[in-house]
């Protein structure tokens, strides 16, 4: 397995691999991404294959600068305002594909839209600038499993399916970007994140939040079961039975691990996936039970991930 610490040399090697059509896992501020050149169809197909990702679920295209989006998508007023307010950062914007968009149709999974984001992580940005290509990058884990916030998580989940894993340490935000659809007259949140609906509404006015309709999900990626560890999960627990791991928040008594002893939601977001990975030990525990997390602000995104992790699996 090819895993190297992030240095100028390893990032330059990563950029070279990407230009040649290979796959490179790299850190972003949210989670590790499994990157490939978005303009090479074969490469994008390899990303789907490596993750075992359903072909109907489109990928986010990462850029090093706002100016890169002009080639890919129809930019409009709300895009400019939001990108200026939140980029680089954990907000993905879904736009209409531009005629002649150089990104493979596969990244859009057949839709006429394309999701773009500029990550706020020095390694991701240096890699993008080195490759000089927009990078398709889903989270670097097998489809449906807990997202990776450490290079070791990527190695365990994808291993040799990746040409290079660049280790840039733990991801400082820990939850995937919020996904906002700008293709309709009313902007709509498809996936919640640490940039909240209130944050976005302050910049572009009132927005909608996608209602879950399992029969017709608006965001193809928002499957009910997702982020699932191998152990069963139970939510809103205050005590654990013998053999269960208790993931606490705030003043939880006898927690096995605590997302934030001081009750800070931002800290809980950073720790969520790493602690789910750490407790996912079937030889040691029978289930992971999670203390209640307030459903306000960033807590909305945390509860979204937890509910999907606990959802019945297919």
Residues that bind ligand TXA (CB under 6 A): 28, 30-31, 33, 57-60, 90, 92, 94, 108, 111, 113-115, 117, 119, 137-139, 176-177, 179, 190-191, 219-222
Angstrom distance (rounded) from CA 42 to CA 200: 35
Closest CB 178 distance from ligand TXA, rounded Å: 8
Closest CB 53 distance from Mg ion, rounded Å: 8
* Residue 191 partner contact from Mg ion, ligand TXA, none using kind-dependent CB cut-offs of 5 to 8 Å: ligand TXA
* Residue 72 partner contact from ligand TXA, Mg ion, none using kind-dependent CB cut-offs of 5 to 8 Å: none
CA atoms within 13 A on the CB side of 20: 10
Closest residue to ligand TXA, judged by C-beta, is: 221
Smaller CB separation from ligand TXA, 249 or 273 = 273
Going residue by residue from 77 to 106, which x/- string records binding to Mg ion, judged by CB under 5 A? ------------------------------
Q: How many CB atoms lie within 10 A of CB 128?
A: 25
Closest CB 248 distance from ligand TXA, rounded Å: 25
Is residue 219 a contact residue for Mg ion (CB under 5 A)? Answer: no
Nearest-5° Cα angle at 200, 198 to 201: 65
Closest CB 89 distance from ligand TXA, rounded Å: 10
Q: How many CB atoms lie within 10 A of CB 111?
A: 16
Residues 134-173 that bind Mg ion (CB under 5 A): 139
Smaller CB separation from ligand TXA, 26 or 249 = 26
Closest CB 138 distance from Mg ion, rounded Å: 5
Angstrom distance (rounded) from CA 178 to CA 246: 27
Nearest-5° Cα angle at 283, 280 to 286: 65
Order of strands across the sheet that contains 244-248: 233-234, 287-290, 244-248, 257-258
* Residue 134 partner contact from Mg ion, ligand TXA, none using kind-dependent CB cut-offs of 5 to 8 Å: none
Q: Do residues 200 and 180 touch, judged by C-beta distance below 8 A?
A: yes
Closest CB 139 distance from Mg ion, rounded Å: 3
Q: Do residues 95 and 116 touch, judged by C-beta distance below 8 A?
A: yes
* Residue 51 partner contact from ligand TXA, Mg ion, none using kind-dependent CB cut-offs of 5 to 8 Å: none
φ/ψ of 165, rounded to 5, equals -110, 120
Q: Residue 1 has which token pair?
A: 């397995």
- Angle at which helix 265-279 crosses helix 298-310, to 10 degrees, equals 20
Closest CB 217 distance from Mg ion, rounded Å: 14
Cross-strand partners of 287: 244
Bridge-based pairing state of the strands 188-191 and 178-181? antiparallel
Smaller CB separation from Mg ion, 38 or 289 = 38
* Residue 130 partner contact from Mg ion, ligand TXA, none using kind-dependent CB cut-offs of 5 to 8 Å: none
Smaller CB separation from ligand TXA, 248 or 299 = 299
| H-helix or E-strand spanning residue 276 | helix 265-279
Judged by the rule CB under 5 A, the positions of this chain that interact with Mg ion are 139
């Amino acid at each position: 397995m090819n895993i190297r610490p992030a240095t100028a040399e390893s990032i330059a090697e990563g950029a070279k691999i990407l230009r040649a059509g290979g796959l490179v896992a790299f850190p972003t501020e949210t989670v590790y991404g499994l990157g490939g050149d978005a303009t090479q169809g074969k490469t994008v197909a390899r990303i789907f294959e490596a993750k075992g990702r359903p072909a109907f679920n489109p990928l986010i295209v990462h850029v090093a600068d706002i100016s890169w989006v002009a080639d890919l998508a129809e930019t409009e007023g709300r895009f400019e305002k939001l990108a200026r307010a939140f980029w680089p950062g954990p907000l993905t914007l879904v736009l209409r594909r531009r005629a002649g968009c150089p990104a493979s149709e596969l990244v859009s999974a057949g839709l006429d839209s394309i999701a773009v984001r500029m990550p706020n992580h020095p390694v991701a940005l240096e890699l993008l600038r080195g490759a000089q290509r927009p990078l398709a990058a889903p989270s670097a884990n097998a489809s449906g499993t807990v997202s990776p916030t450490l290079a070791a998580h990527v190695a365990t989940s994808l291993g040799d399916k990746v040409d290079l894993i660049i280790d840039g340490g733990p991801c400082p935000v820990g939850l995937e970007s919020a996904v906002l659809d700008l293709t309709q007259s009313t902007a709509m949140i498809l996936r919640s994140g640490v940039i909240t609906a209130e944050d976005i509404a302050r910049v572009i006015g009132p927005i909608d939040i996608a209602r879950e309709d399992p029969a017709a999900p608006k965001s193809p990626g928002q499957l009910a079961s997702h982020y699932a560890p191998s152990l069963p999960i139970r939510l809103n627990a205050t005590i654990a039975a013998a053999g269960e791991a208790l993931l606490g928040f705030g003043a939880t008594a006898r927690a096995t691990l605590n997302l934030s002893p001081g009750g800070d939601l931002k800290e809980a977001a950073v720790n969520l996936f790493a602690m789910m990975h750490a407790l996912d030990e079937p030889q040691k525990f029978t289930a992971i039970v999670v203390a209640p997390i307030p459903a306000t602000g960033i807590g909305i995104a945390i509860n979204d991930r937890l509910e999907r992790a606990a959802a019945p699996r297919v």
